[in-house]
Amino acid sequence: MRIATVSVLLASTLALQAAAPVPRQSKEFTITLPSGKQSLLSSYRGKVVLMACMFTTCPHCQALSKIITKLQNELGPRGFQAVGVAFNDEVNTPSTATNSQVTASFVNQFEVGFPVGYAPRYSMMSYLGLSDVERWVVPQIVVIDRKGMVRAQSNAQGSADLQTEGYLRKYLGELLDEGAPAKSSAPSKAPAKKAVDKKTS
């Protein structure tokens, strides 16, 4: 009985230690695209980024990808960038070809309109601050502001708000406005007049 209690307390302590606080500076993270090219999360600095960590076989992840594609089309011109990372068993095999095929198939089948790559499960869990001793669900969502700060993240059991189109549109819009370049209020200058050559008679 005592051993079981100690085990539960130890598991709880590890889970609390692993939990990633928000806001925090985003760590570097490497995503491998289906082409084999590696993309660094820091390469999106200056944009508001939503990273969706998904299983390609998860119905909730598939549905969320459609919502995020819509938001990418709407908010992309304002500086929003979505990126997907698959880390299910199918993309954690030694074969790079399999990883690429599974990820590319997901993008094609669900008409995903943002970059989706893959990453090893251990690196994804480390980035998210998830522990092996706690139960967690997918999709996991991370929202990063223009300065590279993680401003929102799903908890281990998922966060309904971060999977809701209306909430995401409003929240992302606020972050985009927050870091948007200031518009110049100076009046525009009148175009310079062209010099006219005077002909001497």
Q: Which residue has the higher pLDDT, 44 or 192?
A: 44
The pair of structure tokens assigned to 87 is: 């880390």
The pair of structure tokens assigned to 117 is: 């790559």
pLDDT band at 8 (very low <50, low <70, confident <90, very high): very low
The pair of structure tokens assigned to 24 is: 């925090």
Greatest mean pLDDT among 2-11, 68-77, 98-107, 177-186 lies in 68-77
pLDDT at 98: 82
- Name the helix (H) or strand (E) containing 102: helix 96-109
pLDDT at 55: 95
The mean pLDDT value of the chain amounts to 84
Stretch 166-187: mean pLDDT: 83
pLDDT at 4: 41
* CATH node for 14-166: 3.40.30.10
Closest CA to 140 of 84, 101, 63, 72: 84
Give the three-class secondary structure for 110.
coil
Among 17-31, 44-58, 70-84, the minimum mean pLDDT is found in 17-31
pLDDT at 199: 47
pLDDT band at 19 (very low <50, low <70, confident <90, very high): low
Distance, in Å, from the CA atom of 40 to the CA atom of 83, rounded to the nearest integer, reads 11
- The β-bridge relationship of strands 116-118 and 48-54 is unpaired
Phi, psi of 152 (to 5 degrees): -150, 145
Closest CA to 86 of 20, 156, 138, 161: 138
Distance, in Å, from the CA atom of 128 to the CA atom of 136, rounded to the nearest integer, reads 11
Q: Which residue has the higher pLDDT, 69 or 18?
A: 69
Among 16-25, 35-44, 45-54, 71-80, the minimum mean pLDDT is found in 16-25
Stretch 4-14: mean pLDDT: 38
pLDDT band at 105 (very low <50, low <70, confident <90, very high): very high
